[in-house]
Structure 1
Amino acid sequence: MPSHYKLQETHSFLKNKKIQSITVLLFFTLLCALPLLSITLTEDISTMIPQGKDGRIADDFALLQKAPLSGKVMISISSNTAKPQQLEKIADSISARMSPPYLTAQDYSGTRPQAVINFLLRQAPNLTTENDLARLKYITSQHVIKQTLLQNKQQLISPAGFGLRKIIASDPLDLRSIYLEKLAPLKHLPRFKVQGKHLFNNDRTALLIFAKSEIPMTDSRLGAELLSHFTEIKKSALAENNAAASDINISLLSGHLYTTANASIIKRDIFTLSALSISALLILFFYSFRRAGALTVFLAPGVAILAGLSTAAIFFQNLSAIVIGFGAVLMGISIDFAVHTYFALADNPEDKNKALKKVSSPILFGAATSCAAFAALYVSGIPGIKQLALFSVAGIIAACGYALLFIPRFCSSFPEKTLGANTIFHIPKHKTAVIGISIFILTAGTYYALNNSFDTELKNLGYISDEIRNTEKLFHEKWGNLSRQALLFAKGETQESALQNNERLWADLSINLPETKTVNLAPVLPSTKTQLKNRKLWAEFWKREQLNRIISTVNSEGRKIGFAPDVFTASLKKIHSDEPVLTVESMNSSALGFLTELLIPKSGQGKNKLIMTLLPDTDKVSDYFNEQKEQELNARLVSQSRFKATLETEMKADITKFICLSGLLVTLLIGILFRNLRRAALAIFPAVFGVVCTFGVLGFLGIPLNIFHIAALPLVIGLGADYGIFMVFQEIKKPSPSTVKAVKISGLTTLAGFGVLVFAKHPSLHSLGATVAAGVSAALICAVFILPHLLRMKLQTEKDHA
């Protein structure tokens, strides 16, 4: 049975039964609301990241989030005029005023030179390798002991001698020189210089405070309270130290700053754009509808969003809030069907069944092509886009059903019909000029579209204010680029296996990339297996007879140059003290605890343990750690440059698959509808024109493509195909003056409701708005002004032949 007959039966059932119609609609609403009771929303941007082959891209993104300073709150206090002592006082004032849950200062006072040396000397049995033994033999020879003691004497009587007394007393043989070399890779860390309990940059014009916060980085409300708390303590600290804000710059950098800025600008955008959109829709309503019943047309997006949200909630346990937000915007297509139904009824209000029979086929096929356009998104490797595909298809089906079943029942009065017949045969002149301009636009659009680039910088999807940019610039100037390092992760099922793999990785780097500036834990935190081997070497070297000989030599040579008898005996006897094997936990509570915090990310229950190595983000490093090398070392290299290159490749593949599949499905459906090559080509032409113009405009303006441009494309394809179907249908059935008006109104309502997003300040909303504005405008212009000329060409040819 043809679809319009089934619709007529359903409509007849609901006819003159307004209460029943409302009841059915309310029941549908209730049914859709039930799955929402158990919905779990996530704001994690990872849902908009492609999975990649074997989930590699998603895994790399997760690893990038484990970067050393990720999740930290950093406060920089800098001045080109103030002395370091004043910066220290201000830092102490700020730290003292911090209070949980907002901020808690991290204390690095334990990382003093004396404390570090003491730690290394205690751990010497665990850290001494075979290479170190040769140094030990040399250092403990009689003539070197004599030279070392002489140097100690000279240092003690120098101006710096007072500060060296404890160091020399605990290590008269200068064993520390062996073990301090193990910290040599730390010089490649960002520009930190420990002075007491403070971290300075190299020229001591800036001081850095690390703080922890109990406030989640994604909580915009509490994040705003944290920033307000910081502003207050900053003012108080400056006032307490009689310092002016113009002389001392105090800046905070953390995820809260970005979250709060994005939440604030989105709220401002929503308020501004809602006012603009509502005003535009009201103008359209009073200009084109002017009947109370027509307000039900504007309920279509609400029905679509509810149905889409409910369906997605059934099939996905966790729904992305980003997807819901953008899916709701993309559902602007849903009003299209209601508008066409309304104006078809306006043409024949006395016989609604006849009006429905006329409009049902193009609406159903229009909905089918729109569903095909959105369904093609399901081939994407991006989890959020898959959710968006299902959300949109369900919403379109619901909107189509609402338009054909309920609009006829709720709309009883219509604007007066516009007299004047066939719009398609009464169009402006200048056919040659219009077609020529169209060809030029398509050619230029294709050229610029092929030169489009992809923006794979995830940070650009969020809003960054001028204030945040200035803060980022200051941190970069004072502390270097804190985030542009490659991260090399040694993996293991246990902590011990991860440490062993980290040693293999360090050995490989030392041999094959010796000039690379590398920060690795292996020299100061070897695996237990290696430590046990080192302890055996240490014990064999420091036998009782050997130790007694060295103590005797030190005392003998020391007396000759003026040291008190047995002054070093106690410290030398500690060499035989039984220090336990060094573990991650014991190192974490030591003077070098900041290293474990920096380079050993926390792993969840049952997940691989990770040890991080920092390297420069260069092509040489990236090329060396290919897939084969990573498998060999059981390691994984991630970096911003490698991640962006991989992401761009995946996005190109995604958009190619989507456009090809979407184009194939839409073309197939339109071909089935018209069963005529010429009509099918003309019907799909507005969609093609809209897509080419979208990419062409973005390419011409130099705007790189991002994930939200791609997500909005189905709206352009779906609406463009709808416009084409309705215009071409005029050639098959009796032309209607309301058809062109309905196409115009549906396009304008989409632009008024959602195209206004082009004025948004938030980059993601702007991207969506730019795509909708460019694509839908182009498709609408094509359908209304270009397509009629193309349709007339056959009619004119037939007249000429006649």
Structure 2
Amino acid sequence: MINYRLLLIVSLLVSALAGIGLLRLDFDTDVVRSLPSGDKVIADGLEIFAHHPIHDQIAVDVMLDVDDPDTLVEAGTLLEKKMQDSGLFAQVGSAEFGELIPDMALYAARNLPLLFSGEELDQMVAPLLTAEKIKTRIQKLYQDLNSMEGIGQAEFIGLDPLGLKDLVLARLAPLAPSLNTRFFRGALLSADGQHLLVTARPLATGTDTDSARKIAGLIAESSRILNEKYNPSGRRITLTPVGAFRAALDNERIIRHDVQLALVLATVGVGLLLLVLFSRPLLGLLSLVPALAGTGAALFAYSLFHSSISVMVLGFGGAIISITVDHGIAYLLFLDRSHETKGRDASSEVRAIGLMAVVTTIGAFVILSCSGFPIFTELGQFTALGIFFSFLFIHSIFPRIFPTMPPGRDRALPLRGLVNSLYNSGKPGFVAAVLLAVGLLFFARPQFAVSLESMNTVTEETMAADALFSRVWGSIGERITLMKKGGGITEIERENDKLLAKIEQDIDQDVLRAAFVPSMIFPGRERGVLNLQAWQNFWRDGRSKRIEQALSNAGAEFGFTPDAFAGFFSLLDPGYAASFHPIPEKYYNLLGILHNGKESGLLQFVTLLPGKKYDGADFQQSYGKDASIFEAAFFTRRLADILFSSFTTMLVIVAVSMALLLYFFYLNLRLTLLTLLPAVFAYICTLGTLRLLHHPLDIPSLMLSIVILGMGIDYAIFCVRAHQRYRDVSHPSYVLVRVAVFMSGASTLIGFGVLCFAEHSVLKSVGITSLLGIGYSLLGTFLLLPPLLDRYLAGENKRSSMQLDNRDITCRIRHRFRMLEAYPRMFVRFKLQFDPMFKELPRMLAQRKHVATMLDIGCGYGVPACWCLEYFTQARVYGIDPDPERVRVAAIGAGERGRITVGWAPDLPVVDRPIDVVLLLDMLHHLDDATVSTLFKKSYMALDHQGILVTRFVIMPSGRPSWSWHLEDRRIKIAGRNPWYRSGEKIAQMLQEAGFMISIHEVSEGNPELVWIVGRADKE
């Protein structure tokens, strides 16, 4: 019987929750956000990524297939015009920089005394001051004046006849993409003259896929227009754009394709699996409902705390469906049987076996969310929510959708036979698994390959474009970017002066090869004063007079007027007084100075080139105290070290925490080790197989090692708990549990397996690693656990029976419950230790010397019944209790000498002989007067002559009730029932009315809130 109305309402509600969640969340494709930010090196890199303009900048390589710089510049100009007109860019081209260079050159010529250190003057300027070189220089100036290149050069000649400003401007070279570039007609050309570089800064971020699609379309359209213009003349233009926008587009397309493929294939695969393993296939398909409901509710709950979610996390939608479907499968397997079943009963069985599996799985994902990687923090939170809501749905909504289920028809299910054969493979299967693990152990040495590339996947076209750009314009990855913050330009200049002094020392020591710091052209006051002193010292001792004479003589020879170089001569005057001004704001972009958008102040970016003696760690130590640094190679190595150490530590923490959690759940070291064994087997085999496949452990593999441990151990928990609960592998419920484990594992393998076909490297790595890890966990569970559990149970029975004869009655009672789960074992232990019942019970039973048959009404876990079996070694006990779980435990405790059934007082179990003793212990306060009266009468009729009824019951205390009394009272009321407290006199009267003679009536010595009464049935 299915409540279709409730199913429809729930489906609509879940769809609404999922829809609201999706509408509230933005989809994030920025892989950079997935990096951990707790480490200084990583934090610096992320901060530079966030602020450096090149992070979002795009560059277009314009290539002409013939050597024609003029045509190349013309094509570049047309492309820039097209890009400017598109409205997609805040800035296009380097024209602004080209316009600034003449102004900067004039500034340099006018401020030469401030721009050279003493060392630079000796090494760079002094060699230019020989009479021969001065004459050669003046001759070239004369020739330039007679050509087009000399237009507008008169002021430069007067201020800087020696061309010292060119030495200053050459310091800008590290800002260019490559040191082998040149400017031609205001455009940047490659060394071979066939490539032109166009740069642009989009209005949107580089990872905005809507903007990226428009930019890609614009470049394609521009390429078509340019080739239509130049192809008729035999020229071909090729546009090759690079930048973050291409990676964003590639990742979005690939991930969306992979997500859709994973969702479809996982859903179809799991659906087909359910069809062939359920006697009612359509019922099996409904096991997907909790998983879908959990995913929808998780989306909604996640949207309440976050504004965005990574599209890669959504890629785990298919995996989440397969992960959370296991409890739905188990629930419906217990429901889909050949006899009528109830939803509540199925829920109880699944919850009893699978609760710990849910706790460990959620725990693994919660710990994953503490990784420091935002993308895996999202994954951990989202998946933990999905599993939690799925479990909640199964045990709160499913029993209402399936209140009862009529018997199902018998149908051949051959796959179940295969599952049973695999699980019962015994010693051959165990030996095969051990040999497999031993063989792969020799290859189980982890290989780590952690890089940013493993977090990103682009098309072959994008990789070819990046390779072309690196070959022509150089690799930005070889550079070091340093970022400093300042409250204003004066502070920036002061810090730049200090930085330049430090960099100069490292260049001298070959730690750095080249660098550009704005103080090289715009020194701060301190650096400027030192340079001015060095300049004046350099021109002393008649050097200025000799140079003035040499310039005048050479100038006269080539027709220059006597005062042609007066501007330069004034700079050599010992009385020259320089004026210091802040860097003009128009130069900020050129010099790498930006306004700090979200904060006040300025940001200074400095570009450095590493030298032969460069060491990333030493450089970070030297420069990182007051600056942020990014150097790709060191960043990647540091990332690898962090990942390895953090996730190795985290894996150890997770493994230890799970082991402790399992131990506290079992309170049995051997069972804990047996439960962990399949996970150990899985790790050995997975590492060995990955090594044979030449698939190193990358970032996703490291992350998911924790998830595999959490999910893979579920299967072992299910089987160990089933072995504890059902004892016999042929028990029908045990069969259902292992079928559910197989279906859960198979569905998980399907969910992850489809990711092996993904294009994206992250999803593909997730698929391969998880497929192996979960697959080997399932194999270890089916091949290793059954024979070991059988051996464990047999060994415990043999060991306990040998040690039992000389033990006291308490130990013998606990022995009966030794193989049960922790809670009933601890209940038995504490009840025997702290309940005064067992000290007082012998006296209550003393008047009945021979006891062969006993009846325990409301037996609970059967502790008093088992005590009686040990006290009366030839007796048999019959018990009833309304709680099926307590009946199960009591039946195991009573063993072959007992028969415990589910029932409610005043009903009595069917007994084929007279009863010697009836026990009514701590249960009368659950029954109303009419029920108690009927129960007493039925008990009297069932008892043999002089049989006794022993009851202990709770009274309303005269003073302040104890905490245990309050706890019991509250428990009954929470269950929706009313407690019935009666005085001893009232109970005695009711017993007498039923025909009993009262032989004992006393308050318990150990608890004044409990009263003992013994009634004897004198029937002759």
Q: Normalized against structure 2, the TM-score is what?
A: 0.67
Q: 1:663 aligns with which of 644, 655, 661?
A: 655
Deviation at 1:398, TM superposition (A): 1.7
Q: 1:774 aligns with which of 772, 775, 781?
A: 772
Give distance in 2, aligned partners of 1:75 and 1:424: 60
Q: Which residue of 2 aligns with 1:94?
A: 79
Report the CA distance shift for 1:308/1:668 in structure 2 as closer, same or farther (over 3 A). farther
Report the CA distance shift for 1:86/1:723 in structure 2 as closer, same or farther (over 3 A). same
Q: Which residue of 2 aligns with 1:277?
A: 266
Give distance in 2, aligned partners of 1:785 and 1:449: 20
Report the CA distance shift for 1:101/1:417 in structure 2 as closer, same or farther (over 3 A). farther
Give distance in 2, aligned partners of 1:270 and 1:336: 22
8 Å Cα contact 1:74/1:253 also seen in 2: yes
Question: Which amino acid is 1:301 matched to?
Answer: A
Q: Which residue of 2 aligns with 1:345?
A: 335
Question: Which amino acid is 1:524 matched to?
Answer: I
Secondary structure of residue in 1 paired with 2:231 = coil
Secondary structure of residue in 1 paired with 2:606 = strand
Deviates more, 1:17-26 or 1:669-678: 17-26
Question: Which amino acid is 2:515 matched to?
Answer: V
Deviation at 1:616, TM superposition (A): 2.1
Give distance in 2, aligned partners of 1:136 and 1:731: 86
Q: 1:108 aligns with which of 95, 104, 107?
A: 95
Q: Which residue of 1 aligns with 2:365?
A: 374
- The reply to whether residue 49 of structure 1 matches residue 35 of structure 2 is yes
Q: 1:525 aligns with which of 500, 522, 527?
A: 522
Q: Which residue of 1 aligns with 2:465?
A: 471
Deviation at 1:111, TM superposition (A): 3.1
Report the CA distance shift for 1:742/1:415 in structure 2 as closer, same or farther (over 3 A). farther
Give distance in 1, aligned partners of 2:779 and 2:124: 84
8 Å Cα contact 2:42/2:639 also seen in 1: yes
Identity fraction in percent: 20
Question: Which amino acid is 2:639 matched to?
Answer: L
Q: Which residue of 1 aligns with 2:434?
A: 439
Give distance in 1, aligned partners of 2:460 and 2:124: 57
Deviation at 1:727, TM superposition (A): 1.7
Q: Which residue of 1 aligns with 2:702?
A: 710
Q: 2:294 aligns with which of 266, 280, 304?
A: 304
Q: Which residue of 1 aligns with 2:785?
A: 787
Give distance in 2, aligned partners of 1:643 and 1:154: 48
Report the CA distance shift for 1:16/1:751 in structure 2 as closer, same or farther (over 3 A). closer
Deviates more, 1:566-575 or 1:787-796: 566-575
Work out which structure has the larger RCO, using CA pairs closer than 8 Å and 6 or more positions apart in sequence: 1
8 Å Cα contact 2:556/2:562 also seen in 1: yes
Secondary structure of residue in 2 paired with 1:111 = helix
Question: Which amino acid is 2:647 matched to?
Answer: I
Deviation at 1:228, TM superposition (A): 1.3
Give distance in 2, aligned partners of 1:246 and 1:301: 60
- The reply to whether residue 562 of structure 1 matches residue 551 of structure 2 is no
Q: 2:495 aligns with which of 472, 479, 501?
A: 501
Q: Which residue of 2 aligns with 1:254?
A: 243
Q: Whose strand proportion is higher, 1 or 2?
A: 2
Q: 2:641 aligns with which of 637, 646, 649?
A: 649
Give distance in 2, aligned partners of 1:63 and 1:397: 38
- 1:208-247: CA deviations, max 9, x gaps? 1112322431122331221111111111111101269995
Q: 1:390 aligns with which of 369, 373, 381?
A: 381
Give distance in 2, aligned partners of 1:133 and 1:513: 17
Question: Which amino acid is 1:583 matched to?
Answer: I
Aligned residues: 773
Q: Which residue of 2 aligns with 1:356?
A: 347
Deviation at 1:22, TM superposition (A): 7.2
Q: Which residue of 2 aligns with 1:61?
A: 46
Report the CA distance shift for 1:513/1:541 in structure 2 as closer, same or farther (over 3 A). closer
Give distance in 2, aligned partners of 1:140 and 1:245: 47
- The reply to whether residue 180 of structure 1 matches residue 166 of structure 2 is yes
Report the CA distance shift for 1:170/1:33 in structure 2 as closer, same or farther (over 3 A). closer
Deviation at 1:506, TM superposition (A): 1.9
Deviation at 1:168, TM superposition (A): 5.5
Give distance in 2, aligned partners of 1:171 and 1:308: 73
- 1:290-314: CA deviations, max 9, x gaps? 4444443212222322443444445
Q: 1:404 aligns with which of 390, 395, 412?
A: 395
- 1:533-566: CA deviations, max 9, x gaps? 76799899999xx999999997787456533565
Q: Which residue of 2 aligns with 1:726?
A: 718
- The reply to whether residue 163 of structure 1 matches residue 149 of structure 2 is yes
Deviation at 1:756, TM superposition (A): 0.9
Larger radius of gyration: 2
Give distance in 2, aligned partners of 1:578 and 1:503: 17
Secondary structure of residue in 1 paired with 2:724 = coil
Deviates more, 1:103-112 or 1:413-422: 413-422
Deviates more, 1:338-347 or 1:498-507: 498-507
Q: Which residue of 1 aligns with 2:581?
A: 581
Report the CA distance shift for 1:526/1:327 in structure 2 as closer, same or farther (over 3 A). farther
Give distance in 1, aligned partners of 2:223 and 2:651: 53
CA RMSD, Structure 1 to Structure 2 (Å): 4.3
Deviation at 1:140, TM superposition (A): 13
Report the CA distance shift for 1:416/1:354 in structure 2 as closer, same or farther (over 3 A). same
8 Å Cα contact 1:489/1:611 also seen in 2: yes
Give distance in 1, aligned partners of 2:208 and 2:116: 47
Secondary structure of residue in 2 paired with 1:783 = helix
Question: Which amino acid is 1:267 matched to?
Answer: R
Q: 1:217 aligns with which of 202, 206, 209?
A: 206
Secondary structure of residue in 2 paired with 1:251 = strand
Q: Whose helix proportion is higher, 1 or 2?
A: 1
Listed as ranges, the gaps of 5+ residues in structure 2 are 802-1020
8 Å Cα contact 1:156/1:165 also seen in 2: no
Question: Which amino acid is 1:489 matched to?
Answer: M
Q: 1:124 aligns with which of 104, 107, 112?
A: 112
Q: 1:198 aligns with which of 176, 187, 209?
A: 187
Deviation at 1:491, TM superposition (A): 4.3
Give distance in 1, aligned partners of 2:499 and 2:469: 31
Give distance in 1, aligned partners of 2:110 and 2:478: 35
Give distance in 2, aligned partners of 1:692 and 1:622: 35
Deviation at 1:85, TM superposition (A): 3.0
Secondary structure of residue in 2 paired with 1:453 = coil
8 Å Cα contact 1:140/1:173 also seen in 2: no
Secondary structure of residue in 1 paired with 2:62 = strand
Give distance in 2, aligned partners of 1:659 and 1:140: 66
Q: Which residue of 2 aligns with 1:12?
A: none
Question: Which amino acid is 1:94 matched to?
Answer: L
8 Å Cα contact 1:488/1:635 also seen in 2: yes
Q: Which residue of 2 aligns with 1:286?
A: 275
Give distance in 1, aligned partners of 2:463 and 2:585: 38
Q: Which residue of 1 aligns with 2:606?
A: 612
Secondary structure of residue in 2 paired with 1:202 = coil
Q: Which residue of 2 aligns with 1:6?
A: none
Q: Which residue of 2 aligns with 1:455?
A: 450
Give distance in 1, aligned partners of 2:350 and 2:323: 17
